Structure 1
Amino acid sequence: MASRGNNSFSHHQQAGHGQHQHQEKQISFGMIQPSSSMHGNFNIRSKESGAYDLGELDQALFMYLEGQDHSSVQEQRQTLNIFPSQPMHVEPSTEVGMSLGSPASGGSKGTMSEPTMEIGTKRNNNNNNNAAVFDMEYGRWLEEHHRLMCELRAAVQEHLQENELRMFVDNCLHHYDEMFSLKTMAAKSDVFHLVSGMWKTPAERCFLWMGGFRPSELIKILLSHIEPLTEQQILGICALQQSTQETEDALSQGLESLYQSLSDTVVSDALSCPSNMANYMGQMAVAMNKLSTLEGFVRQADNLRQQTLHRLHQILTTRQSARCFLAIAEYFHRLRALSSLWMARPRQE
C-alpha cells in the first residue's frame, strides 16, 4: 500500500507541478499602458513659474477618474440589484457634497480643493453603501447557514440512508455556492472591503487569506473528522492538498509581486515632477490599472476555495461529506464565539 501510495503521490506531484505552471500564467497580472489620448481631455493652466499646482493635478485626476468610472458606477448599481434581498438595496445618496468655502463664511468660490473633496466624498459614500449591503446579506447568509447546519446535524444523528442524507448535504454545498456568488458581486463593487476582513469577526481575521479561509489549512482541520478513509480517498485528498497548496503559493507570490510593483510605481520619479502633466497622469493611470488587478486575485482565491469544497464532496461519501460540513461550521462557530469572548473581556483602566 505504501509503495502504491508513493508512486501515486509522485504522479500527482508531477501533475500538480504542471498545473502550478499553468496557474502561474493564469494569475500573472497584466498592466494596460495608458494611451496618449487620455491627456487631451484636460486643459490645466500652469502658473507663471511653469509648475502645476498639486490641487489642480488632484482635480484633473479625479475628473479623469469620474469620466472613466461612469460606466463602472452604473455597473455597481446593477450589481447591487443582483443581491437576493431587494428590501436591503440601498441607493447611494446624491446629497453628499462637502463645501470647504461658502459665501456666508466668506470662503472663496471655485477653489481647486472644493470639487476634489466633493468627488472624493461621493466615491467614498458609494463604497460604504456597497459594503453595508454586503455585510447585511452576509449576515442573512450566516443565519440561513446556521439553520441548514442544524438540519444536517439532526439528519446525521437520525442515521438516515445515504440517498436521504444526500439532499441535506447538497443543500449545504449549494448554500456555499451562493456565498461565493455574493462575494463575487461584492468584489466588483468594493474589493478592499473583502480583503480587509471587516465583514468577519476579529478571530476569523487572524486566519484570513485573500478575503477568506485558506483551503489547504481547512483540509488539515477536516482530516480527523472524516476518517476512516480508503486508500483511494487518501490518495485523492493528498493530491488535493498538494495542488491546493501550490495554487495558494502561486497566488500569494503573484499578489506580493503586485504590491511591490504598485509600490515602485507610487514612488516613481515621474510623480515627483508634477510639472510634466503627461508623466504624472500616465503614472497614476498605471497605478490604477495595477490596483484593479486585486479583484482578480480575490476572485481566483474564492474559486480555489469553492473548487476545494466541491472536490472534497466528490472524494468523500455522503456521510463523510456531512461530517465535513459540520466540522467546518463548528470551526468557524468557535472562532466567532472566541471573538465574542474577546470583545466582552474585562478591561483594565
Structure 2
Amino acid sequence: MAASSSSASNPKNGLAFESFFEGWLVRQEHYLDELQSVLGKHEDSKDDEYLKELSARVFNHYQEYYDEKSRMSNHNVFLLFNPPWFTPFERSFFWIAGFKPDLAFKVAAAAAADLTAEQKEMIEKLKIEVKVAVKELNDELARVQESVAAHELMTVGGKAPSGDEMGEINSVLDELQAELVTVISNADVLRTRTAERVAAVLNPVQSVKFLAAVTEMQVRVRTIGLEKEARKR
C-alpha cells in the first residue's frame, strides 16, 4: 500500500516518531525498575495507595505512546503497518500495528497466579468480549485492504490515467487511508482498554505484578529483536 498525499510520504514524519519512541523506551525502562523495586519489598510494607498511583503513572506512560502514534497515523498510516523502529522479531507479535490484546490475559495469568475464582470468572468474560472485538476489527481491516488493492490496480499497466482519473484515484486512496487510521485507532483502544480492564480485576499488588510483567516482556522482546539484527549484520 502506498500513501497518496505528500504529507503522508514525508520521511520526516517517521523520523520524528522514531525520535519520540527512543525517549519513550528510556522512560519505560525506568518504570520497569520502579515496578520491580516495589515488588521486591516485603508484602506488609507495600502501600496500596502508592501502588495504585504507580499503576496509573505506568498506564499514562503507555497512553503517551498511543497519543503520539495517533498523530503519526494521521501523517502516514501506511508506515505503521511496517514500522522501521521495531525489529522484525517485535513485529512478529503484532496485530494491526501493535501487540495483540489477548497477550494481556496470558501475562496476567503468569504474573498473578493467586487469582480468586471470582477474578478468573471476570477475566474469562472479558476474554470473550475481546475475541468478538478482534474478529470485528479483522473483518474491517480485510475490507479496507481489499479496497486499497483494488484501487491500486487502477494505476498499474495500460494507459496512464488522465488528470481527472488521477484526482479520483487519489481521493479514493485518501478516503481509504482515513479508514485505516480509524481501524488502527480502534485496535489501539482495544489494546489499552483490555489492559486497563484486566488491571481493574486485580488487587493493587497483582496490578503492579501485571504491569511489571507486561513491561518486562516488551523490553525483553525488543532486546532479543535487536540481538537478532546485530547477528545478521
- Fold match (TM-score > 0.5): yes
Letter of the 1:330 partner, please give it. Answer: E
Paired with 2:89 and 2:156, the residues of 1 have a C-alpha distance of 42
Letter of the 2:167 partner, please give it. Answer: M
For 1:1-349, list aligned pairs within 5 A. 124=9, 127-158=10-41, 159=43, 160-268=46-154, 272=158, 274=160, 278-345=164-231
Tell me the percent identity: 23
Paired with 2:73 and 2:161, the residues of 1 have a C-alpha distance of 36
**In the comparison of the two structures, how many residue pairs are matched?**
227
1:156-185 Cα shifts (integer Å, max 9, x gaps): 111313223222222111211111111111
- SS at 2:113's partner residue? coil
The change in CA–CA distance for 1:291 and 1:182 in structure 2 (over 3 A counts) is closer
Structure with higher RCO (Cα < 8 A, 6+ apart): 2
1:284-308 Cα shifts (integer Å, max 9, x gaps): 4223322331111111111111111
1:37-58 Cα shifts (integer Å, max 9, x gaps): xxxxxxxxxxxxxxxxxxxxxx
1:43-75 Cα shifts (integer Å, max 9, x gaps): xxxxxxxxxxxxxxxxxxx9xx67xxxxxx6xx
| Structure 2 unmatched runs, 5+ | none
Q: Do 1:270 and 1:283's aligned partners in 2 also have CA atoms closer than 8 Å? A: no
Paired with 1:264 and 1:333, the residues of 2 have a C-alpha distance of 39
RMSD over aligned Cα, in angstroms? Answer: 2.5
Q: Do 2:104 and 2:195's aligned partners in 1 also have CA atoms closer than 8 Å? A: no
Paired with 1:257 and 1:271, the residues of 2 have a C-alpha distance of 24
Paired with 2:23 and 2:98, the residues of 1 have a C-alpha distance of 18
Measured after TM superposition, the shift of residue 137 of structure 1 is 0.7
Paired with 1:265 and 1:190, the residues of 2 have a C-alpha distance of 18
| Structure 1 unmatched runs, 5+ | 1-61, 67-72, 74-122
Paired with 2:106 and 2:23, the residues of 1 have a C-alpha distance of 28
Measured after TM superposition, the shift of residue 276 of structure 1 is 6.1
Paired with 1:272 and 1:323, the residues of 2 have a C-alpha distance of 59
- SS at 1:175's partner residue? helix
Paired with 2:33 and 2:78, the residues of 1 have a C-alpha distance of 33
Q: Do 1:271 and 1:283's aligned partners in 2 also have CA atoms closer than 8 Å? A: no
Paired with 2:13 and 2:160, the residues of 1 have a C-alpha distance of 34
Paired with 1:172 and 1:270, the residues of 2 have a C-alpha distance of 47
